[in-house]
């Protein structure tokens, strides 16, 4: 298959790079010793694992974004379009650590709330290279942004629940 002149060559490269990053140094670790079916894991151990994984995912997403930025953007000004264009931007989240610490640990459940859905797949498949690169830039920008928030909030939640806000 010759993809040299194809509009998909950048997409294929990005897919290959992201798969390499995700598979790099990854070995599944059983939660229970020896894969036992019935074992108990402490909440502290679960939080420890979740924090390590979220930090790892954030580092990978940052690395993918940085690599994409270096290779494909070359002063195209994608950042100005990406600043507030994440589909998750409409979700109410604290702006900083202080605001997050003031939040209720058990927020009200909103049963009928409609959450935003990512609708960027058609943009990733456009024939126009500039539009496609912009869409990938936005996707990786949002992934990095959201993974950073998740990483920070998970650490804050661990601090509240496991260490009684004594971190």
For the record, the structure tokens of 129 come out as 């290279």
| Measured CA distances, 75 to 10, 79, 83, 121 (Å) | 17, 10, 16, 24
Instruction: Determine if residue 45 is labeled as part of a ligand binding site.
Output: no
| Measured CA distances, 166 to 99, 101, 105, 156, 163 (Å) | 17, 12, 15, 10, 5
Can you tell me the distance from the alpha carbon of 86 to that of 118, in angstroms, rounded to the nearest whole number?
Answer: 8
Q: How many helices (H) and strands (E) does the chain have?
A: 6, 0
For the record, the structure tokens of 138 come out as 């936005």
Instruction: Determine if residue 74 is labeled as part of a ligand binding site.
Output: no
Can you tell me the distance from the alpha carbon of 112 to that of 87, in angstroms, rounded to the nearest whole number?
Answer: 19
| Measured CA distances, 141 to 14, 61, 133, 138 (Å) | 14, 8, 12, 5
- Binding site residues, as ranges? 55, 151
- Binding site residues for Zn(2+), as ranges? 55, 151
């Amino acid at each position: 298959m010759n993809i040299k002149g194809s509009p998909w060559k950048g997409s294929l490269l990005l897919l290959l790079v992201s798969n390499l990053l995700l598979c790099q140094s990854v070995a599944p670790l059983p939660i229970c010793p020896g894969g036992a079916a019935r074992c108990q894991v402490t909440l502290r151990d679960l939080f420890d694992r979740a924090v390590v994984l979220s930090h790892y995912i954030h580092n990978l997403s940052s690395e993918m974004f940085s690599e994409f930025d270096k290779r494909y953007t070359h002063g195209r000004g994608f950042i100005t379009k990406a600043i507030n264009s994440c589909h998750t931007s409409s979700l109410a989240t604290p702006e900083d650590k202080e605001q997050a610490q003031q939040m209720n640990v058990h927020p009200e459940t909103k049963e009928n709330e409609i959450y935003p859905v990512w609708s960027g797949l058609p943009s990733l498949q456009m024939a126009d290279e500039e539009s496609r690169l912009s869409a990938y830039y936005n996707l990786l920008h949002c992934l990095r942004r959201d993974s950073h928030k998740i990483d920070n909030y998970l650490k804050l939640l661990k601090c509240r629940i496991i260490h009684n806000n004594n971190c």
